[in-house]
Amino acid sequence: MSENDFRQGHLGGYQPQQSYPYYTQPAPAGQVPTPPPPRRKGKRVAALVSATAVAAALVGGASGAAIVGLEGGSSATASGTTASAQTVSGTTNTDVSAVAAKVLPSVVQVNVTTRQGEAIGSGVILSSDGKILTNAHVVSGAVGDVTITLSDGKQYQASVLGADTKADIAVLQAKGASGLTAATLGDSSKLAVGQEVVAIGSPAGLQNTVTSGIISALNRQLSDIGTGEQQSSPFDQTANRTSDSPSYTAIQTDAAINQGNSGGALVNMAGQVIGINSALYSPSSSAGSVGIGFAIPINDAKTIVSQLENQ
């Protein structure tokens, strides 16, 4: 093949193909010819990596969310690796199905009648005699008793023992209940970003729904979402944040949380409840989960429950 011949390139089209001699010039008689130094490829590879980095930066400039998403994924992976190397309280190598089997009997569906109509949320069983933890916004405006449905379909009527709207915590009492499966509560002070979690509740009234993901961030102030941004409770309403909105420091997770999950359990891989699902960020009132959900740390919830019981 001569210097002017062409062949099909692997990227399509034709590329010039030049024949390079093995030796740069004939060796003198009686001497072993010395091959030329190998062709350097480092700059070409480096240029490719550099161009990729520039392209990513340009994408980030055009769409900040895209680049933030990439950085967030990288950070979470690194944190997850660190967490697995450490001794994180309450975590084991249990799969999601085993976690679900353990926790589902301790999560209930909460049906509420208000003057505006019917609404659905979730709750977590605290005691065998029917004490149940949920969000205050789940039972807000309830007319009369609420209906509790266990994972096996059995139902009880329940009264609201107390509620803290700022902390978004409420305690219910199922009437005539006994032998219920109480949830195991974990320690939310020992959580790590990247740690695997499972969310259980009744999104859209679909009871016993299980989703999984990781802890995306800790100590997230809901005010970080931004004034005027839409914050959707996974219950029955989407509204702009106001001064009357709940105010607490939350666990952020990418486990799918949708309307109806409010008051349900966020659990670690040991099946311990480490948060109460309470809100999701949605770019519009019609959108569902976009992978940005929030849960009230269980340690905070336990403090509020104790206060409500002692009122």
- Of 79, 137, 254, 300, the catalytic one is 137
CA atoms within 13 A on the CB side of 233: 27
How far out from the chain centre does Cα 306 lie? 28
Residue 262 known to be catalytic: yes
Q: Which residue has the tokens 């990439």?
A: 70
- Of 106, 232, 262, 282, the catalytic one is 262
Q: Which residue has the tokens 């692997």?
A: 10
Residue 10 known to be catalytic: no
- Of 164, 168, 236, 300, the catalytic one is 168
Q: Measuring CA to CA, which residue among 197, 152, 153, 161 is closest to residue 295?
A: 197
Q: What is the DSSP string of 177-234?
A: --S--PPPB--GGG--TT-EEEEEE-GGG-TTEEEEEEEEEEEEEGGGG-TT-EEEET
d(CA 172, CA 230): 28
Helix axes 42-62, 64-85, angle to 10 degrees: 110
Residue 159 known to be catalytic: no
The residues that are catalytic are 137, 168, 262
